[in-house]
Amino acid sequence: MNEYFKVSIQVVAFILTFILSLIAGPIIIPMLRRLKFGQTVRDDGPSTHIKKTGTPTIGGVIFIIPITLVSVYFSAKYPDIIPLIIVTLGFGAVGFIDDFLKVVKKSKDGLFWKQKMFALLVIAVAFTMYGINKGILNTEMIVPFMGMDYTVALPMWFFIPFTIFVLLAITNAVNLTDGVDGLATGVTLIVVVLFTIIAMTRSDWDYLKIFSSTVAGGCLGFLAFNAYPARVFMGDTGSLALGGAVGAISILMKMPWIILVAGFIYVIEALSVIIQVSYFKLKGKRVFRMAPIHHHFELLGWKETKVVSVFWVITFVSCIIGLLTLRLKFF
């Protein structure tokens, strides 16, 4: 019976978080409306987005609260979940401040870029140093295509800044992916389900299995309110929190490179912005009609639902490829 429970504990965590998110939505969305926490839409964005002005934002709390509650419950038995909770809440708090300032100023701009990055940097450094000091984070990295037991040790002087960079990069990539109803939520759901499957292969990753499944449950519950037409947006509160969770899990699994494969959508979203900004500064011209790239496809005439569906399918295929690179053994 105990062995059966160990196998199914991720299902329990998933269902609990999913149900709590479904309950939280109808409670929190009306509160956000009463507080007039409405979204300010970019005036240079697709014209179809203008009607979204005023839609409640900061909705990330709908899944952040359940993820936190369920994770804290399981942390009594799996204390290594705690740094994952802290980095998720920390990044989410930065996003909340950013969203709140946007609401107060009735502007698409919240924190200055340098302010936001400094706050995220402090949290990333704290997570990295805490993980190293507690022994849950070491310099070993799993090598793709060589099996889960084949690792290489990075020198500490390289590992620390590399880990911080990866966490910041993934977080910002997830943040850039948010912008179309259900896109970031669905993509992240698929990615963390992959993480749950991977974590099931090692008993010392039980805490990662549980946390990944709570994030998946929160994302699925939030989709009930965020799928097109969205009744609420997660805001930077949600996207930065999800980015922190995804980044931290991949780092603790010793395979941050997996995001380049499984998180392919995150990568192309971030690259589209980098290419657009760099090329415009050099040539004064744009490569895409608009960046991030999901807006480019919208301006080409794709409906939001088509963009989201195609990007979800790409993520699903990317995750399958990611599994193949690991040569997993479940039995």
pLDDT in tens, the chain (331 residues): 343 334 478 999 999 999 999 999 999 999 999 988 877 665 556 656 666 777 899 999 999 999 999 999 999 999 999 999 999 999 999 999 999 998 887 767 788 889 999 999 999 999 999 999 988 998 999 988 888 888 999 999 999 999 999 999 999 999 999 989 999 999 999 999 999 999 998 889 999 999 999 999 999 999 999 999 999 999 999 999 999 999 999 999 999 999 999 999 999 999 999 999 999 999 888 999 999 999 999 999 999 999 999 999 999 999 999 999 987 765 4
pLDDT for 110 = 80
Nearest to 138, CA basis, from 150, 151, 125:
151
- pLDDT at site 49: 63
* pLDDT value for 240: 97
Question: pLDDT value at position 6?
Answer: 45
For the stretch 3-12, what's the b/e string if a residue is b when 16 or more beta carbons lie within 10 angstroms of its beta carbon? eeeeeebbee
Q: If you ran DSSP here, which 8-state letter would residue 107 be given?
A: S
Backbone angles phi, psi at 306, to 5 degrees: -70, -45
How far apart (Å, rounded) are the C-alpha atoms in residues 132 and 157? Answer: 13
Residues 132/114, Cβ–Cβ less than 8 Å: no
Task: Give the residues across from 56 on adjacent strands.
Answer: 38
Is the Cβ–Cβ distance between 299 and 272 less than 8 Å?
no
Task: Give the separation between CA 191 and CA 245, rounded to whole angstroms.
Answer: 11
Task: Give the H/E segment covering residue 236.
Answer: helix 235-252
Task: Give the pLDDT confidence score for residue 44 in this predicted structure.
Answer: 56
Question: 92 with 64: CB under 8 angstroms?
Answer: yes
> Rounded to whole angstroms, what are the CA distances from 199 to 10, 23, 57, 207?
10, 28, 32, 9
Is the CB of residue 252 less than 8 Å from the CB of residue 96? no
Amino acid at site 233: F
SS (H, E, C) 43-102: CCCCHHHHHHCCCECCCCHHHHHHHHHHHHHHHCCCHHHHHHHHHHHHHHHHHHHHHHHH
- What's the Cα-to-Cα distance from 57 to each of 40, 90, 189, rounded to whole Å? 9, 18, 20
C-alpha distances (whole Å) from 242 to each of 1, 173, 221 are 33, 11, 14
Alpha helices per DSSP H over 35-81: 61-75
Q: Say if residues 225 and 66 touch (Cβ distance below 8 Å).
A: no
Structure tokens at 320: 């399958």
Q: Bridge-partner residues for 38, per DSSP?
A: 56
Query: Omega of the bond prior to 79 within 30 degrees of 0, cis?
Result: no
